Every structure is written in C-alpha cells, then in structure tokens.
C-alpha cells in the first residue's frame, strides 16, 4: 500500500520544504519510489532544493488544477539533482512561481476535490510507494485535506512560543479530522539546549511522539536551499537524524 | 472561525477525503468504458441520450452525499416513479383497499404485458404498467391538475427540490402509448379502475416524464432507507407504516423480469427506468442513485446494475447477507481504519 506523508507547520520558515526534500530523498535512496507535491501554491519553494528551474518545468501543479494537463505531466524526475544514482525514483510536482499564476490561484481558488484526485492519480501513474505533500503554513482547506488523507502527518516546530501555540491548534484540528498517525519534528534547535529534555517536554505537552530533533545548522544555512543536504553531507548529524525519521515512516505496516 | 464553521468545513473535507468517495470514483472509472447495452429508442426523446453519460450518487442515512460523474444531468424518471406513486396510493387509501386493486405478485411477464390475475382481475403488481396505471388511478384529487400537483409535491418531499414534467416526453409517451391505453381500458372493462381513464392515463404518462437526476434517485432511496424521512431536509415523505410495503414490492418486482436474479445477486430493493436510472437502497443504511442510459436486454441500465452489484458485494449490503464483507461501511464512510490507497 502506498503511503501519504504530509509535512506541515503552523508558521512559515520552520523548514518544511527542506525537511520534505531530505526525507523524500532519504527514502528514495533506500530504493522506494517517491513523489513530492508542492502544494504551497502561494509561496512555492521546494523546487529550488531539487535544482529544478522554472524554465525546465513548464507544466506545474497549477496546470493540473486548471485542467490544462494531467498531474503526471507535471511530475519531473529530480533524482539526479538530488544526488541519487538511479533514475525514476524521485519525482517532484512543482507549483508555478509565475506571479500571474499565483495571483490566479489566490483570486479564484481551486477545488480541493481535484487536488485529492490528483494525488491519487499521481500515486497510481508513477506507482509510488510514498507521496510527500509539502504545504503552505497555517490552516486552510488544503491543509485540512492533506491532514485528512495522510497516513502520516509530520508537524514541524521550532523551540519558540509562537510555534508552540500554533502547533497546539493544528494538533487539535488534526485529531478532529481523525488523523491516522502524527509525528512531531523539532527544527532549528540551539545546540545549547538539552535535546532529551526538550523531546520529553514536547511529547508530554502534545501527547504525540517527536520523531527527530534537528539542530540549527550553519551547514544547512550555507547550502542555502541549493541541493539536498542529506546526499551532499551523508555523514552529518542532520542527515543521520533524517534517517531516523525515515525509519519511523517505513516501520509501520 | 466558530465551532460550527469548523465542523462544517471539517465534514466537507472529510467527505472529499473519504475512502468511500474514492471507492465510488474507482467504480465509476471501472465501468465508464463499459459500453454494453443500448439506449431506449421507442420515443425520439429517449434516443437522444448520450451512452457515455454516467453518474453514481450515494446518500447515507445520516445525510452525507457522495457524487461521482453525471449526477446533475436530468433525465426522465420513467418506471422508477411507480414505486413512489404506490406509496402515495397507500397513504390515500390504506393497505387493504390498495391490495384489492393491485396485487403484489411478481410476474415473469414483460413490464408492458397485457395480463391480469385471472381469478381477481387485479394487475399482478404496481411495478408492471397495468399495476402502475391502476395505482395512478388511486391517486386522490378533484382534478387532473390537483392529482399531478399532489404527485409532484410527494416527489419534492423525497428529493428536497421542485421537479418538473418534461412536456415533449409526456406528449410523445401519450401519442405512442396505445398499449398502455389498451391495458387501461381492459381494466376499466373489469371494473378495476374508475372511468376517468384518459385523465389517469395522462397522469401516468406525466409521472413517467418527471425529470430527475442521479442525486434525486439516491435521495429518494435514502429517504426510504431512513424510514420515510428525507435525511437532508428532515421532512417526512412517506408514512413510516408504508415504507416496508413500498420497498417489498421494489425488492420482488422492481427490476422487471430480472427481479429474481437481482434479489439473488444484489439483494437490494430497487427500481429501474428506461431513462437509464436506478434507485436502490440498503434499509437503515443508504440510498443509491445511478444514471447510465444504455439498457440491457431486460431493460435495466447496464452500468447501473454493475455498480449496484459491486457496492452490494463489497460492503455486504445484500439484505440476507450474514457474512463479513470485505469493506466495513462505517469505516469507509468515516475514513477510520479503511485505506483506499
Ligand atoms: N536545521 C536548520 N538549520 C538552519 N537552517 C535551516 C534548518 N532547516 C531549515 N533551514 C533554513 O530555513 C529556511 C526556511 O526553510 P524552508 O524549508 O524553506 O521552510 P518552510 O518550507 O517551512 O518555509 C531555509 O533557508 C532553510 O535553509
Ligand atoms: Mg516551504
């Protein structure tokens, strides 16, 4: 059975896209067939991490939502760019970065039913084992949908009051939507913090497991979203933490 | 966002994400390409139907609505009307009187056969044309208009929206309905119908020419499944005492001379019409409405039968099913536990 993994956070800049790209790449490296959809239509970004230039990707998620293309036509093999030797394992469906396209979606909205159907078509057409959904921060219809359909919801938070509060709201909603499995990931943690204590505190507060804690890393900042961190620095502690989170996802039947 | 707004949004998202919706999508995809059967062509209006039209709608007892494909496309209700008008006749006169005019015995004869029970002169059941005309005769009202209005009001209680008679279809049915006229006069000869025969025939042709869509059919079935109360509007459409009468004749006689095999294979009370519609229900659970114009040799919608067969098998909806079904209906509706990926 294919699995859908949504990555979400209440606030922006928490590291969702970076996290999604690294986790997807980690699983693809293990031999799984993985797809990533950038549903952050108002502020797309993950294509940068996969070095997919807008000129190389004329067909996007927007094209699908407007009925101009099949969703699989908007899927690009980004395995090579992500540093995976084997082709045909890692695909990205990007969102359009054209101002007009973004404006059109913001103005007219789109049918979430169509988005849901698109996810399913993509999984079938590319025979995916895992579908990752990178999301726009905050709460919206699209967020609700990705929460409702995912097998695993990963909520990313930073050790910050605003993130804590927003995460509580999101968790409440996710539970009301009968989320199947929810994992927390803490990102950008200062190295001076005691990670074990932090993990325990967060788990107690939210009643959900923390799958990984990622330090605020100068190397990640330096890479500046130009490439997938875990294949560039496979032995780095950050990359090893991604492997740990990946194990959480593949473990369940 | 108030609590009410949130739950409305959450439930609409859950309906979109529901594994059951996905199941129906897959079902629609599976049979969209099945082009067996032929569109009815005994009147020109029906022959115009596009064989590709295909809609599946399910309405649950709780009022959740699932639609796939052409669920808003209007078509004529045709024989499906018979089951519901029978319910109105029961309300108008009670069971004993209605039984004295129309039997409830399945017949292996074609729906338009000119046969009456030899001992009692009653038509065999309300689902064959003879029985349906005798049933239409029972509908109370001082004038043709009032009787039609009462019928339309009854259908509105089931569907939750105003329905119209398609006048060209009505006129075509009337112009070519020699056989039905013959049946009606034969029954008049035996004193089984009142002498307002032409008015009743008009009423019958009009009831068959009411325009509905697959969603209406699902809502009507769900209303019966819900004990006679429309699960969305909350309005009562049929006295609860007569619900079992109506669905009994649907079960035994609803699918023309395929009814026996239908009970065996599908086991759901249902009624089909030559317009391509089928209404079927799982009592206490849900109503199904399908629309696909190509008909099989017995006059039932080919794709509609396939859809009902699959739904009944996969969710164990057959009335006499005691085995565990491969899909648990509640799990699939709520998304808990079921995995449609
Ligand atoms: N652990 C980390 N340490 C340092 N910088 C990080 C870390 N994780 C993410 N970043 C940086 O934070 C910024 C926002 O990340 P991004 O993945 O785009 O967030 P989001 O998708 O949630 O908006 C990027 O510049 C990214 O390189
Ligand atoms: Mg992002």
Residue A187 Cα: closest atom of ligand 1 = 1
What residues pair up with B75 in beta bridges, in sequence order? B212
Q: Whose CA is nearest to atom 8 of ligand 1?
A: A15
Report the complex ipTM: 0.76
CA-nearest residue of chain B to A2? B341
- Residue B333 in this model has a pLDDT that exceeds 60: yes
List the catalytic residues of B.
79, 82, 204, 256, 274
Cβ–ligand 1 contact at A220 (below 6 Å): yes
- Residue B321 in this model has a pLDDT that exceeds 90: yes
Largest CA distance in chain A: 51
pLDDT of residue A34: 98
A56 CA → ligand 2 middle, Å: 20
CA-nearest residue of chain B to A151? B339
Query: Which range is least confidently modeled, B80-84, B163-167, B326-330?
Result: B326-330
Question: What is the spatial distance between Cα A25 and Cα A162, in angstroms, rounded to a whole number?
Answer: 30
CA-to-CA separations, B177 to A101, B147, B172, in angstroms, rounded: 57, 20, 8
B277 CA → ligand 1 middle, Å: 55
pLDDT tens, residue by residue, A173-228 = 999 888 989 999 999 999 999 999 999 999 999 999 999 999 999 999 999 999 99
Domain boundaries, chain A: 3-250
Antiparallel, parallel or unpaired: β B65-69 and A76-77: unpaired
Give the residue ranges of DSSP H helices in chain B. Answer: 3-17, 19-32, 44-47, 80-93, 95-101, 129-138, 144-159, 167-176, 178-189, 197-208, 214-225, 240-253, 259-265, 302-315, 329-334
Model confidence at B2, pLDDT cuts 50, 70, 90, reads low
- Residue A104 in this model has a pLDDT that exceeds 90: yes
Those residues whose C-beta lies under 8 Å from the C-beta of residue A60, and which sit 6 or more positions away, are: A74, A93, A94, A95, A96, A101
Instruction: Determine the average pLDDT of the residues in B304-309.
Output: 98
Mean pLDDT of chain B: 94
Model confidence at B107, pLDDT cuts 50, 70, 90, reads confident
Query: Over pLDDT 90: what percentage of chain B?
Result: 83
pLDDT tens, residue by residue, B239-289 = 999 999 999 999 999 998 899 999 999 999 999 999 999 999 999 999 999
Note which residues in 171-200 of chain A have CB less than 8 A from chain B: 173, 176-178
Those residues whose C-beta lies under 8 Å from the C-beta of residue B208, and which sit 6 or more positions away, are: B76, B77, B78, B79, B81, B169, B170, B173, B273
pLDDT of residue B338: 65
pTM of structure? 0.81
pLDDT of residue B13: 86
Instruction: Determine the average pLDDT of the residues in B7-15.
Output: 81
Residue A189 Cα: closest atom of ligand 1 = 1
Residue where the block lists tokens 């698109």: A118
Asked whether the beta carbons of residue B14 and residue A177 sit closer than 8 angstroms, the reply is: yes
Instruction: Determine the average pLDDT of the residues in B34-48.
Output: 92
pLDDT of residue B336: 65
pLDDT of residue B317: 98
Torsion region of B192: left, alpha or beta (phi above 0 gives left; psi -120 to 50 gives alpha): alpha
A37 CA → ligand 1 middle, Å: 18
Cβ–ligand 1 contact at A157 (below 6 Å): no
Interface test with B, best of A127, A177, A179 (most B CBs within 10 A): A177
- Residue B8 in this model has a pLDDT that exceeds 90: no
pLDDT of residue B7: 79
Ordered structural domains, chain B, with CATH: 20-78+210-334 (3.40.710.10), 81-208 (3.40.710.10)
pLDDT tens, residue by residue, A128-173 = 999 999 999 999 888 999 999 999 999 999 999 999 999 999 999 9
pLDDT of residue B28: 97
Residue A160 has φ and ψ, to the nearest 5°, of -155, 135
Supply the angle between the helices B197-208 and B144-159 in degrees, to the nearest 10.
30
Question: What is the spatial distance between Cα A92 and Cα B44, in angstroms, rounded to a whole number?
Answer: 51
Of A3, A145, A176, the CB nearest to B16: A145
Asked whether the beta carbons of residue A176 and residue B10 sit closer than 8 angstroms, the reply is: yes
Model confidence at B115, pLDDT cuts 50, 70, 90, reads confident
pLDDT of residue A165: 94
Fold exhibited by the domain A3-250: Rossmann fold (3.40.50)
Those residues whose C-beta lies under 8 Å from the C-beta of residue A220, and which sit 6 or more positions away, are: A18, A229, A238
- Residue B3 in this model has a pLDDT that exceeds 60: no
pLDDT of residue A141: 87
- Determine what percent of chain A falls in helix, strand and coil, rounding each to the nearest 5: 45, 15, 35
Residue where the block lists tokens 């293990």: A30
Model confidence at A85, pLDDT cuts 50, 70, 90, reads confident
Residue where the block lists tokens 């922006």: A12
| Position with higher pLDDT, B118 vs A247 | A247
Give the residue ranges of DSSP H helices in B285-325. Answer: 302-315
Residues in B touching A141 (Cβ below 8 Å): 9, 13
Give the minimum alpha-carbon distance from A168 to chain B in angstroms, rounded to a whole number: 16
Those residues whose C-beta lies under 8 Å from the C-beta of residue A70, and which sit 6 or more positions away, are: A64, A121, A125
C-alpha atoms less than 13 angstroms from C-alpha of B316 in its C-beta half-sphere: 11
């Amino acid at each position: 059975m294919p699995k859908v993994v949504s990555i979400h956070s209440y606030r922006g800049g928490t590291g969702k896209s970076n996290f999604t790209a690294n986790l997807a790449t980690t699983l693809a490296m293990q031999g799984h067939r993985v797809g990533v959809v950038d549903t952050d239509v108002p502020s797309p970004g993950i294509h940068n991490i996969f070095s997919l230039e807008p000129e190389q990707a004329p067909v996007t998620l927007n094209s699908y939502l407007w009925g101009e293309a099949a969703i699989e036509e908007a899927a690009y093999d980004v395995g090579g760019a992500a540093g995976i030797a084997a082709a045909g394992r890692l695909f990205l469906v990007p969102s359009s970065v054209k101002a007009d396209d973004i404006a059109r979606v913001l103005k007219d909205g789109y049918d979430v039913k169509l988005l849901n159907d698109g996810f399913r078509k993509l999984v079938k057409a590319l025979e995916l084992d895992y579908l990752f959904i990178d999301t726009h921060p905050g709460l919206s219809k699209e967020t609700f949908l990705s929460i409702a359909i995912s097998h695993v919801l990963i909520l990313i938070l930073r050790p910050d009051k605003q993130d804590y509060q927003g995460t509580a709201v999101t968790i409440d909603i996710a539970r009301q939507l009968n989320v199947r499995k929810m994992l927390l990931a803490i990102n950008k943690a200062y190295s001076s913090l005691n990670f074990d204590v932090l993990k325990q505190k967060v788990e107690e507060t939210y009643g959900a497991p923390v799958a990984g804690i990622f330090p605020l890393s100068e190397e990640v900042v330096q890479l500046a979203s130009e490439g997938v961190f875990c294949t560039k620095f496979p032995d780095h502690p950050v990359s090893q933490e991604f492997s740990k989170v990946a194990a959480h996802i593949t473990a369940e039947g | 966002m108030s609590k009410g707004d949130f739950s409305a949004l959450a439930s609409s998202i859950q309906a979109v994400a529901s594994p059951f919706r996905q199941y129906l999508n897959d079902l629609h995809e599976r049979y969209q390409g099945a082009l067996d059967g032929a569109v009815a062509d005994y009147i020109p209006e029906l022959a115009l139907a596009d064989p590709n039209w295909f809609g599946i709608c399910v309405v649950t007892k709780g009022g959740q609505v699932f639609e796939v494909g052409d669920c808003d496309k209007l078509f004529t209700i045709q024989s499906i009307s018979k089951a519901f008008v029978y319910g109105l006749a029961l309300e108008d006169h009670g069971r004993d009187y209605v039984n004295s005019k129309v039997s409830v015995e399945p017949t292996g004869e074609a729906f338009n056969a000119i046969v009456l029970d030899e001992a009692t002169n009653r038509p065999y059941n309300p689902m064959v044309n003879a029985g349906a005309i005798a049933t239409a005769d029972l509908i109370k009202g001082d004038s043709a208009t009032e009787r039609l209005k009462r019928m339309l009001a009854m259908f509105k209680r089931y569907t939750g929206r105003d329905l119209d008679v398609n006048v060209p279809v009505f006129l075509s049915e009337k112009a070519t309905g020699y056989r039905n006229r013959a049946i009606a006069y034969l029954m008049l000869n035996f004193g089984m119908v009142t002498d307002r025969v032409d008015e009743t025939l008009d009423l019958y042709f009009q009831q068959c020419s009411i325009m509905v869509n697959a969603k209406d059919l699902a809502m009507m079935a769900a209303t019966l499944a819900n004990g006679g109360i429309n699960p969305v509007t909350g309005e009562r459409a049929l006295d609860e005492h007569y619900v079992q009468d109506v669905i009994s004749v649907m079960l035994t006689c609803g699918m023309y001379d395929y009814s026996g095999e239908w009970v065996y294979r599908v086991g759901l009370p249902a009624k089909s019409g030559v317009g391509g519609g089928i209404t079927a229900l799982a009592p206490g659970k849900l109503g199904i409405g399908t629309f696909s114009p190509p008909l099989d040799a017995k006059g039932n919608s080919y794709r509609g039968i396939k859809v009902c067969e699959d739904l009944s098998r996969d969710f164990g909806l057959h009335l006499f099913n005691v085995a565990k079904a491969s899909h648990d209906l509640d799990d699939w509706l709520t998304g808990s536990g079921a995995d449609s990926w």
